[in-house]
Amino acid sequence: MEFIFSCPETGKTFSTEDFSIMDGQRVFTDAEGRKSLNATIILENPCPLCGKTHEYAADEMICPFTPSI
Ligand SMILES: [Zn+2]
């Protein structure tokens, strides 16, 4: 299944199914200082837009059924 990712370098989106999900590998601190463990999504291949390998927090993911703005 392809997911849609946003490239932080170019601000554009692309879709790929070459990613892996790492559960609870990172501690995130939210705006109120609370720490929580979130899944991290790591691209298996470099970004097709900028050539870098991006990582995303699972809750930053763009729903593939929602048009990106
Ligand atoms: Zn990129």
Q: Quick check: is 65 in a domain?
A: no
Burial profile 12-29: b = 16 or more Cβ within 10 angstroms, e = fewer: eebeeeebeeeeeeeeee
Q: Quick check: is 66 in a domain?
A: no
Q: Quick check: is 67 in a domain?
A: no
pLDDT at 65: 54
pLDDT at 7: 94
Average pLDDT estimate for 40-50: 93
The pair phi, psi for residue 68, each rounded to 5°, is -75, 150
Domain total for the chain? 1
Distance of CA 24 from the midpoint of ligand 1 (Å): 23
Q: Quick check: is 32 in a domain?
A: yes
What percentage of the chain reaches a pLDDT higher than 90? 38
Distance of CA 27 from the midpoint of ligand 1 (Å): 23
Is 40 a residue whose pLDDT tops 80? yes
Its pTM stands at: 0.65
**Which residue range is the domain that position 39 belongs to?**
3-60
Distance of CA 67 from the midpoint of ligand 1 (Å): 19
